[in-house]
Amino acid sequence: YTLDGIITVTDAKHIITRLDDEKPEGVENEAVEQVAFADRILLNKTDLVEEAELAPIEERLKTINPTVKIFRCEKSKVNPLHLIGIEAFSLEKTLEMDPEFLNTDAEHEHDPSVSSCSIKFEGFLNVEMLSMWIGEIIQTMGANLFRYKGVLSVAGKKEKFVFQGVGMLFSGGFVTAQWAEGEPRECRFVFIGKNLDKTALIDGFTACKCSEELRFKVGDKVLARVGDSEY
């Protein structure tokens, strides 16, 4: 079995009220979390609100989850092709990023604890440093991470490196897609979560940057220290 994607059904008439619900300390707002985790949102019962109300509702949902696809519907009727076979957790599919992938400028005025964090730059990353960093943030921030994904340019590789995750479940690796001749070698990621330490995420990510020139050429034999006194 594979997880194809996460679909959340929202009530157009009441979703804003549910998102604004004030919970006791230590109790999560499930509506916010379900929106944040979603790959697809069915904005249901659109017949119960005015047409002019729909766009602001969608904008609010996008402030929580900038990359989600929203489908307006009545009685949850949506073309199944929009919901089945989306392969949301396929690394190859992650390359097909929404144009709003890095649009995280909107402030989460209604729930400041839920936010998104992103960065984009041209250059290269050291994949070993990146792997260690991702492992560290999963251990330290995993409980507060809702969704995250990125496409990276790794020094010494023509293939693109793609990663994505939900909470502490992470997958990442090189895909068959390669950087085209003349295409900017660009690294970008977005994290959606609660109480995110944005400075730590951005600093940790940029600390993995490196030059395109490798310290050793591919295939070189090197003397490596593998223990206190072993080489």
pLDDT tens, residue by residue, 1-59: 677 888 999 999 999 998 888 777 766 788 888 888 888 999 999 999 999 999 999 99
How is residue 194 written in tokens? Answer: 């609660």
User: Which of the 8 DSSP states describes residue 144?
Assistant: G
SS3 content of the chain, % helix, strand, coil (to 5): 30, 25, 45
List residues bridging with 124 in a β-sheet: 210
Does the pLDDT at position 105 exceed 60? no
Angle between helices 127-141 and 198-206 (to 10 degrees): 160
132, 198 contact by CB (below 8 A): no
Residue 73 sits at φ, ψ, to 5 deg, of -160, 165
Does the pLDDT at position 223 exceed 60? yes
List residues bridging with 41 in a β-sheet: 8, 70
